[in-house]
């Protein structure tokens, strides 16, 4: 087995992957933000300041660069997981970027986009649902076994959309991802595919300060990538019973989000509201 795996313990490898994600994100972030601003791809934040949108592209850039560096030192099966992880990040990031660039707020919510599609009008949200659903199904089939394909596909697709649902206030999506990552590390401890999630965790930690201070928006570009990382990792590392429970929570979240405003629900809970505002400039 390659030196990289045998020379370090599992916890040390996770820490190394996380730190590499931090380093690469800090390396890429200033240039990426400058490039986006120069291209004029900006939106006003809650203070009315114009800031770059789609900065979440840095997650995929940092993660893929990190995996390229680690790839020669991974055993064969982990190399397969690495390629699948890169595919998921690249494809879902692309779909999110399409929504950020060409998306319209005239139609919102999964139900609204599907209704528009049935009326013969393709929205970026519907495109994201169709293409994302197909990709989730493909990755579920590859992950196997066949009997778990529906569960795995739903887990991945709903994880992607769950982070999108959170991405309405500075820092909220990043905090949601970090919480989800922590729970996956606990539930799947000892499973080597967690090293790829560790890379994304480090990347989010390095990025989060600019998001909390409302100096950049990750957009669907970033939220899709983070959701894909959570969903794919859950498919790979969770025990069957825990995976079903995780999928159940995702279904509940989506049902609630279709009927109520998550922002309003969070504001009604002092604890959730405090956590939601922690580290940000929002009063």
Residue 183 belongs to some domain of the structure: yes
Residue 186 belongs to some domain of the structure: yes
Mean pLDDT score, 119-128: 77
pTM: 0.91
pLDDT in tens, 153-178: 999 999 999 999 998 889 999 999 99
Residue 225 belongs to some domain of the structure: yes
What is the distance between the alpha carbons of residues 183 and 235, in angstroms, rounded to a whole number?
14
Residue 282 belongs to some domain of the structure: no
Tell me how crowded residue 39 is: count the other CB atoms within 10 A of its CB.
10
End-to-end CA, the chain: 53
Residue 127 belongs to some domain of the structure: yes
CA angle 62, 40, 31 (to 5 degrees): 30
167 among annotated binding-site residues: no
Residue 283 belongs to some domain of the structure: no
The predicted pLDDT at position 106 comes to 61
- Is residue 3 within 8 A of residue 72, CB to CB? The reply is no
Segments forming the whole domain that contains residue 9: 3-277
164 among annotated binding-site residues: yes
Residue 268 belongs to some domain of the structure: yes
pLDDT in tens, 42-84: 998 878 889 999 999 999 999 999 999 999 988 888 999 999 9
The predicted pLDDT at position 283 comes to 59
Mean pLDDT score, 10-18: 93
What is the distance between the alpha carbons of residues 209 and 280, in angstroms, rounded to a whole number?
9
pLDDT in tens, 180-202: 999 999 999 999 999 999 999 99
Structural domains counted in the chain:
1
pLDDT in tens, 224-282: 999 999 999 999 999 999 999 999 999 999 999 888 888 899 989 899 889 888 887 76
Distances (CA, A) of 6 to 9, 13, 68, 74: 7, 10, 19, 10
Residue 197 belongs to some domain of the structure: yes
* Backbone CA torsion sign across 8, 10, 15, 21: positive
């Amino acid at each position: 087995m390659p030196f990289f795996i045998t020379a370090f313990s599992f916890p040390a490898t996770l820490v190394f992957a996380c730190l590499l994600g931090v380093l690469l994100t800090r390396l890429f972030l200033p240039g990426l933000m400058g490039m986006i601003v120069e291209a004029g791809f900006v939106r006003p934040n809650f203070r009315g300041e114009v800031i770059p949108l789609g900065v979440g592209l840095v997650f995929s850039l940092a993660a893929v660069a990190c995996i390229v560096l680690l790839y020669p030192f991974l055993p064969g099966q982990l190399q397969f997981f690495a390629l699948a992880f890169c595919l998921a990040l690249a494809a879902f990031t692309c779909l999110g970027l399409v929504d950020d660039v060409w998306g319209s707020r005239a139609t919102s919510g999964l139900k609204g986009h599907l209704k528009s599609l049935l009326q013969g009008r393709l929205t970026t949200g519907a495109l994201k649902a169709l293409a994302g659903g197909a990709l989730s199904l493909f990755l579920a089939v590859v992950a196997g076994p066949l009997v778990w394909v529906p569960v795995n596909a739903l887990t991945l697709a709903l994880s992607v959309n769950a982070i999108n649902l959170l991405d309405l206030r500075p820092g909220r999506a990043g905090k949601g991802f970090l919480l989800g990552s922590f729970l996956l590390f606990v539930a799947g401890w000892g499973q080597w595919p967690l090293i790829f999630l560790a890379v994304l965790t480090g990347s989010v930690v390095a990025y989060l300060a600019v998001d909390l201070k409302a100096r950049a928006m990750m957009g669907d570009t970033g939220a899709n990538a983070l959701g894909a990382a959570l969903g794919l990792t859950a498919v790979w590392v969770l025990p069957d019973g825990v995976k079903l429970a995780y999928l159940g929570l995702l279904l509940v979240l989506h049902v609630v989000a279709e009927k109520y405003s998550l922002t309003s629900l969070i504001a009604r809970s002092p604890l959730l509201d405090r956590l939601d505002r922690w580290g940000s400039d929002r009063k």
